[in-house]
Structures are given as C-alpha cells and as structure tokens.
Amino acid sequence: MNSYDSIVVGGGVSGLLSALVLSKSGKNVLLLEKNRNLGNNCNSYLVNGYRVDTGPHAITQLHNGGPLRYLMENYFDYVPALIDYGDYFIREEEGLKEVPTTLKGYLTMDVLPRKDRLIIAQSLTKMLLSWEFGADISNVSVYQSLPWNTLSSDTKEFMDTFSYFLSGKSAKETSVQRMFVGGGFIEEDIDKDIIRENSEHQHSDKFKRLSYVSRLLNNNKVNYNQYYPRNGLKAVLNSILYSLPETVEIKTNTAVEKIVTENDIAKGVLTKEGPYFADIIVYSAFAKDLPKYITDLPAPYISDLNRIKQSKSLTIWLGLDEAFEEFNYIGGEVWFKKKSFWAMPISNYNKSFAPKGKKLVGFMFSIDENSSLESEKLEAYNTILRVYPSINKHIDMVHYQITIPEKASVAIDGFIADTVTPIKNLYLVGTDADDRSMGITRAAYSIVKLITVLRKEKILDS
C-alpha cells in the first residue's frame, strides 16, 4: 500500500507525537525516518556500562496547562515516571550557590559585584513593569535592557551564559522577555491553544501579567515545574512508541527525498523505495531545509526560512569511578567564567545509569561555529579539568556528543516558522515551528498548535 491518510516526515519526538495524535484521532499514518533508530535528540544509550542521554535534559512546564502534560493526559497510554528536576546552582571557585528565584535573591547573590546586582535588579524590574503595562519586550535584547558597558566582565559573562542556555544565542541576540520566561516570571501565552479550554487558569491576559510581576516584586519563590524522566530520556520515547496504535506504520532507514506537490497542494513524498501519497503531510525535519524538498516554494517564504538560526552544542559525558562529592546534588549547575557550561549529574536521579559505586555527569557547552570541533572539544575538556581540579584522577569514561539541540534558536532577528505553510496540506511541527519554551516542551507546543489548526480545517474532529 502506498496511500495513507497522513505521512509524517521524521521520527524524533515531534514526528512521533504527531503520529500519535493523528492515529488516535482516527487517521492511518506512515512515519518515515531517515536514520536507523527513532528518537534522534530524545534517546538514551549505553557507553561502557553508563547509560547516557542525548544531552542533559530538564523537561519544562509539566504543570497542569503545560503542552506535554496535555498530550500525555489525552493521548498517552501511560506516562513515564518523572522526578522533580531539583535546583539550579551557580558554581564558583568556592563551591555552589543556588540560582536566585526572587528579586531579593538577585540582590543578595554575591557571585556578581554589588553595583551590578543593583543595576540588574533595577533594569529588569523596569522592563517587567513596562511589560506589565502592555509594552512589547520580545524584541528588546538582554544586552539592550542593561547598561552593558558599565557592567564588570564577570557580569557580562553571567548574562551571556544564561542567554545561551535560554535561546542558544548571546545576550545581544536573546530577548529580555525570554529571560523572564526562563526565570519563571512571565508565563508563556497558551491562550490560543486548546490547552486553555481544559485548563484551570482561565484569567485575562492583564491579570496574568500583574500576577507575574507581583511574583518578582513580592519575592515569591518561582516554581520551575521541571522534571527529569526517572528511567532516562528514552523512557519518554518508549512511552510514545508504546502508545502508538497499529494504524501507524513506521519505516526507518527511509529518507524523504522530495515532497510531491501539484498546484501548491502537497500530495505525497518520494523515497528510494518509491512514492507514498497522503491527504496531509506533517514535516518534522529542519524547516530551513524545506526548499531542498520542494522546488517551487514562494520566494518570500524561502527568504524567511533562510533567517532561521541554529546553534550547536557539545556534551561531554564523564563516568567517574567514585561518588565525587562535588556532584552530590539533584539538579543542574552552571559555570559562567571563561568557557561556560551546564552540568547535570544524572546518575543521582537513577543509580542504574552508572556501574555500582560510580557516577555519570553530563557537561553541555555551546560551540563556536567558527572554531574547529577538535579545538572546541579540547577547550571544553580542559575547562572541566580547571573547574574540578581533582576530577582527572577519577575519569573512567569520556563520551562526546555534538548536536543541534533545537531546529531554530529563538534569536531576536531569527525566524520561527508556523504550522501552516504556503503549500496546502503540508504542516510543520518541531522546535522551529513554535517559539514557546524550549526543547521537548516547544516540540509539544507545536503539536498542540497542529491539533488546533487541523481541527479548524476540519481535518480532525473537535
């Protein structure tokens, strides 16, 4: 058979969630994945007895009203066991300091000079208040929101580091709004989505804005609502795969080479095995690659797709031959001086990820596109040795991963595509088809948007 209700291109988490939603809504689905395995950026595998994930992960917005929670409750046959992510710390030469979640916390956080802390607190409060009164701060960069040139180099590195973790880009390219969302001070706007219909929080936008400003001003602690799957990232993949009905046919090792269109309507796809046809095509590969698959896209759309920005990351997984007391916490730590990184000792969530008595820690770095990979790897590895001087004697396993964590960075002058494309019946999902939150949560937002669009177009029943 080569004719289906729907074809999904790509078998990462976005493609699989699309297949799940379509099939559970009564459509038969053909999912095509070019690699041998499904999951791509959402997976785990064994390296010398250690079970590493495809990068350190914290899954955000798993509260009631969050997109992945919505999908889990409505489409999953079972939900993977999730553990509270824990705390975020900043590592200094002397040890760890908890990342503040209140204005008072920022003011007393002595990792930065006092003068800078006051400037940051004043500038950010001003920004948040202007947002409260309706200003659009989505195009104001973190860099523009602060008197940058008056800040110490430590503070600049600190702001750059957090910008990289929130958007994949520097403070010059990261919007201050994204900083507030990442810090939990602004809630992402989910009004347009169907989640809101099912959610308890149905207040007006104005009320929502005020309540989040008061969080900062009244020093209420932010609840991050972030989790880690107890059995590793693969547990998320497995729960989706288990939930897929038999009406989903999966072909791995099958790359889509062309998307077949006729009068600007998508009709099917071409692969080495031949053509497949469907009423709708959901595309979860890189949106910026679409012009390779469809030759007659409108020029303005191609130029928008060309504005999509991406960043690369390097994860170094270290297996340590002892418990190593620097990593005796649950959560993540950030190092921001010179070469910054995010570290996560994941065997603290589940001891079975490391051989008995050993520890597994992931260190994630942003990569400079202009440097060679080998020099980036060496510099990152040496940074770890510099920050934890005694770690060298305990390294039992080293594993490198180089990946593009998100298909589009939410950079100020970047572009994020939409679900709907200029080609009828061709829809986009994934981290380049929505700008809310990050990673798996952003992928889930894009699927919720897909459901909304397909219901509106009467392709799915409401």
Residue list 198-257, contact with ligand FAD (CB under 6 A) = 255-256
Range list of β-strands (E), 94-247:
95-98, 227-229
Distance separating alpha carbons of residues 352 and 50, to the nearest angstrom: 8
Please report whether residue 167 would count as binding ligand FAD according to CB under 6 A.
Answer: no
Please report whether residue 6 would count as binding ligand FAD according to CB under 6 A.
Answer: no
**Is 99:345 a contact under the CB 8 Å cutoff?**
no
Rank residues 61 and 145 by Cβ distance to ligand FAD and give the closer one: 61
CB of 298 to ligand FAD, least distance (A): 21
CB of 86 to ligand FAD, least distance (A): 13
Please report whether residue 11 would count as binding ligand FAD according to CB under 6 A.
Answer: yes
CB of 90 to ligand FAD, least distance (A): 17
Rank residues 6 and 145 by Cβ distance to ligand FAD and give the closer one: 6
Site string for ligand FAD, 442-461 (x = CB under 6 A): -x------------------
Measured CA distances, 264 to 4, 259, 298, 421, 426 (Å):
19, 11, 10, 10, 10
Please report whether residue 182 would count as binding ligand FAD according to CB under 6 A.
Answer: no
Residue list 64-93, contact with ligand FAD (CB under 6 A) = none
Residue list 387-406, contact with ligand FAD (CB under 6 A) = 403, 405-406
CB of 254 to ligand FAD, least distance (A): 7
**Is 258:293 a contact under the CB 8 Å cutoff?**
yes
**According to CB under 6 A, which one of 42, 195, 213, 266 is a site residue for ligand FAD?**
42
Rank residues 158 and 365 by Cβ distance to ligand FAD and give the closer one: 365
CB of 285 to ligand FAD, least distance (A): 3
Site string for ligand FAD, 332-371 (x = CB under 6 A): --------------------------------x-------
The enclosing H or E element of 266 equals strand 265-271
Which conformational region is residue 10 in: left (phi greater than 0), alpha (psi within -120 to 50 degrees), or beta?
left
CB of 122 to ligand FAD, least distance (A): 31
Contacts of 199 (CB under 8 A, 6+ apart): 64, 65, 190
**Is 454:21 a contact under the CB 8 Å cutoff?**
no
Locus of tokens 């270290």: 318
Please report whether residue 258 would count as binding ligand FAD according to CB under 6 A.
Answer: no
Rank residues 313 and 409 by Cβ distance to ligand FAD and give the closer one: 313
CB of 212 to ligand FAD, least distance (A): 22
- Show the DSSP H helices in 199-289 as ranges: 205-217, 234-243
Please report whether residue 12 would count as binding ligand FAD according to CB under 6 A.
Answer: yes
Distance separating alpha carbons of residues 8 and 17, to the nearest angstrom: 10
CB of 440 to ligand FAD, least distance (A): 3
Point out which span in 26-34, 135-143, 145-153, 242-250 binds ligand FAD (CB under 6 A): 26-34
CA trace torsion 137, 143, 144, 149 (10° rounding): 160
CB of 171 to ligand FAD, least distance (A): 20
**According to CB under 6 A, which one of 6, 21, 27, 55 is a site residue for ligand FAD?**
55
**Is 430:14 a contact under the CB 8 Å cutoff?**
yes
> In degrees rounded to 5, what are phi and psi of residue 319?
-95, 130
> In degrees rounded to 5, what are phi and psi of residue 32?
-115, 125
Distance separating alpha carbons of residues 12 and 403, to the nearest angstrom: 13
- Provide the sign of the torsion angle of the four alpha carbons 422, 424, 426, 427, taken in this order: positive
- Show the DSSP H helices in 333-372 as ranges: none
Q: Which residues bind ligand FAD (CB under 6 A)?
A: 9-15, 32-35, 40-42, 54-59, 255-256, 284-285, 313, 315, 364, 403, 405-406, 430-431, 438-441, 443
